[in-house]
Amino acid sequence: MKIEDIKEQYKDEWVLVEVLKEDKLNKPKDVKLIMPSKNRDDIYDKLESIESGIHIATFYTGEIPEKGYAVAFYGKNQH
């Protein structure tokens, strides 16, 4: 599945994907959808159950804030 297809199908959602193929700049090119969610915390909770060794990526499919706005993220420390 292409990133563009996921962005179109799951608009304004967080997604968790397995990266199957990257381009020359190491950006995900082909991916397998693991989970979409409107809630970012659901994605991080799901990450805890993903087996090690799988190449994964998470991203938000919505609009990036305009210049001059700030965004803060909170993540879980997994030590």
Give the model confidence (pLDDT) of 36-71 as tens digits: 999 999 999 999 899 888 999 999 998 876 777 666
More confident residue, 51 or 13: 13
pLDDT tens for residues 14-37?
999 999 999 999 989 899 999 999
The residues, any chain, with a CB within 8 Å of residue 12's CB and separated by 6 or more, are: 38, 60, 61, 62, 63
What is the reported pTM?
0.76
Q: What is the pLDDT of residue 52?
A: 85
Per-residue pLDDT for 79 more than 60?
no
